[in-house]
Amino acid sequence: DDRLGEYDLKTGVVREFTLPIRGEVGGPLWPMPDGRVAVGTRSTGYIMIFSPATRTFTAHKIPTPFAGLKDGLFVDPKGTIWFTESGVGKLARLDPS
């Protein structure tokens, strides 16, 4: 889907936040050490970083010809985002700091 959901355990309220790139759909995600969430996308190829504090996304375009499909995504303890680019058989790194 094109949204990231947030569920409040105490109130039962669900909030959804739409990805900022039209037509992009979410893929794997991973929490970051600072509380943000990294989300890989499956259409044109972005790593989105969602900030729960500001409820906003930052979009990082993946600069490769076949960047669309991410099957794996991991954030290391330093906040570096590692992800697979399945279409080209590569492992990539994004340092969002």
Question: pLDDT at position 62, please?
Answer: 86
Type of residue numbered 53: A
Query: Tokens 């954030």, residue?
Result: 75
* Residue tagged 């992800």 (tokens): 83
Nearest to 60 by CA among 79, 36, 41, 85: 41
Q: Phi, psi (5° rounding) for residue 33?
A: -60, -30
Residue 49 is predicted with a pLDDT of 97
pTM to 2 decimal places: 0.88
Residue 54, Cβ density class (10 Å: 0-12 exposed, 13-18 middle, ≥19 buried): exposed
Q: Which residues of the chain have pLDDT under 70?
A: 69
Rg (CA), the chain: 13
